[in-house]
Amino acid sequence: MITLRKGRYQSRIAATPEDVASAQALRHLAFHGVEGADVDSFDAQCTHMLIEEIGAGRLVCCFRFLPLTCGADIGRSYSAQFYGLSALATYSGPMVEMGRFCIHPALNDPDVLRVAWGAMTAYVDDAGVELLFGCASFAGTDAREYLDAFAMLKARHLAPKRWLPRVKAPDVFRFAQGLRRKPDAKKGLLRMPPLLRTYLMMGGWVSDHAVVDTQMNTLHVFTGIEINAIPPARKRLLRAVAG
- The pLDDT of residue 242: 59
Q: Domain segments of the chain: what residues?
A: 2-242
Q: How confident is the model at residue 5 (pLDDT cuts 50, 70, 90)?
A: confident
pLDDT single digits (tens) 201-223: 899 999 999 999 999 999 999 99
225: which strand partners? 132
- The pLDDT of residue 230: 86
Rounded CA separation 59/66 (Å): 21
- The pLDDT of residue 87: 97
Name the CATH code of domain 2-242 (choices 3.40.50.300, 3.60.150.10, 3.40.50.1820, 3.40.630.30): 3.40.630.30
Stretch 148-157: mean pLDDT: 95
Mean pLDDT, all residues of the chain: 92
- The pLDDT of residue 54: 92
3-state secondary structure of 101: strand
pLDDT at 161 over 70: yes
204 Cβ contact partners less than 8 Å away, ≥ 6 residues apart: 157, 196, 223, 224, 225
Stretch 155-181: mean pLDDT: 94
The pTM score is: 0.92
